[in-house]
Amino acid sequence: MKKQCMNRVAVIGTGFVGSSYAFALMNQGIADELVLIDVNKEKAKGDVMDLNHGKVFAPKPMNIWHGDYQDCQDADLVVICAGANQKPGETRLDLVDKNINIFKTIVDSVMKSGFDGVFLVATNPVDILTYATWKFSGLPKERVIGSGTILDTARFRFLLSEYFQVAPTNVHAYIIGEHGDTELPVWSHAEIGSIPVEQILAQNNNYKKEDLENIFINVRDAAYQIIEKKGATYYGIAMGLVRITRAILHNENAILTVSAYLDGQYNEKNVYIGVPAVINRNGIREVMELKLNETEQQQFHHSVTVLKDILSRHFDEVK
């Protein structure tokens, strides 16, 4: 019988992202139980020891242990962080072949446990691997979510907040599309304290369109810059994963830019891609369909086309 009283999260893969996520999750006191699963069992055991030593400083008790796929049976959320990492000079899409094979083994093992919760995928290329997780698991599309462009959107809001000198929480703007080189900023819906960015540009000569274009380029290329400097990105995405986790476990109905399945929204079908969606205990309640301008719609369609081209090499039903 499925447990109802305790929120259990299973993390698969305790590399940079998985361990950073576990640390952030404990710090924020989001879950009641946390199980770490990794092919390198000694690494998982070491992380558990390290995390448990910090529990006395955590905001609430959390039972943390290393385990195996059978522990996913009673999990409310399984977060997949395992897979090959992006190396300097590689795009996220270069990782497809390596990681689809890894994911088939992982998802099959999780489902064999009797898991009946929500999958959250963090591994790149996240849109492709979220689709793969959906197909391999057989779960409803609403209960398979990718981290999508939640980090890109956070980077976007942060850089815009610096440019306009306001708090990031007062910046409302989205990056949508592939979590990768074809993503796009939705300038037509970008606002600073409810004032459209396009209106600010028209009324204030201190702000320039070229500056905003450079901000987006820095958002899009941020991962390459970080990987070049420190080898991998993990703090930002870990915080983004915790934000999604909180929306799920606390049934928040929060709007976050995640990788969600499109079934006609934005005039696109049969693809997982980064879009704003309402997230609650059941996963994705609904996809929020922004009214894009013509340029944005073309850019979004291009992003979909790139992803579908990759998917069609691995899944016959993708046209």
Residue 125, marked binder = yes
Residue 17, marked binder = yes
Residue 13, marked binder = yes
- Of 9, 143, 130, nearest to 77 by C-alpha is 9
Q: Give exposure, 79-101, as e/b (b: 16+ Cβ within 10 Å).
A: bbbbbbbbeeeeebbebbeebbe
Residue 113, marked binder = no
Residue 83, marked binder = yes
Residue 92, marked binder = yes
- Of 26, 236, 141, nearest to 7 by C-alpha is 26
- CA 78 vs. chain centroid, Å, equals 13
Residue 89, marked binder = no
Residue 132, marked binder = no
Rounded Cα distance between 308 and 133, Å, is 15
- CA 41 vs. chain centroid, Å, equals 25
Rounded to a whole number of angstroms, the CA Rg of the chain reads 19
Q: How many CB atoms lie within 10 A of CB 107?
A: 26
Residue 304, marked binder = no
> How many CA atoms does the CB half-sphere of 206 hold within 13 Å?
5
Residue 193, marked binder = no
Q: Are 289 and 186 in contact (CB under 8 A)?
A: no
Residues noted as catalytic = 179
Positions of E strands within the chain: 8-12, 33-37, 63-66, 77-80, 118-121, 144-146, 171-172, 175-176, 184-185, 191-192, 195-196, 254-263, 269-280, 283-287
Residue 84, marked binder = yes
Q: Are 85 and 231 in contact (CB under 8 A)?
A: no
Residue 233, marked binder = yes
Handedness of CA 170, 279, 31, 19 (dihedral sign): negative
The CA-atom distances, in angstroms, between 19 and each of 2, 227, 278, 283, 307 are: 26, 18, 27, 23, 28
Residue 238, marked binder = no
Q: Are 186 and 296 in contact (CB under 8 A)?
A: yes
Residue 152, marked binder = yes
Residue 169, marked binder = no
Residue 126, marked binder = yes
Residue 127, marked binder = yes
> What residue has token string 């796929």?
69
Question: Which segments are annotated as binding site?
Answer: 13-18, 38, 43, 69, 83-84, 86, 92, 99, 105, 122-127, 147, 152-155, 157, 172, 233
Question: Which segments are annotated as binding site for substrate?
Answer: 86, 92, 124-127, 152-155, 233
Question: Which segments are annotated as binding site for beta-D-fructose 1,6-bisphosphate?
Answer: 157, 172
Question: Which segments are annotated as binding site for NAD(+)?
Answer: 13-18, 38, 43, 69, 83-84, 99, 105, 122-124, 147
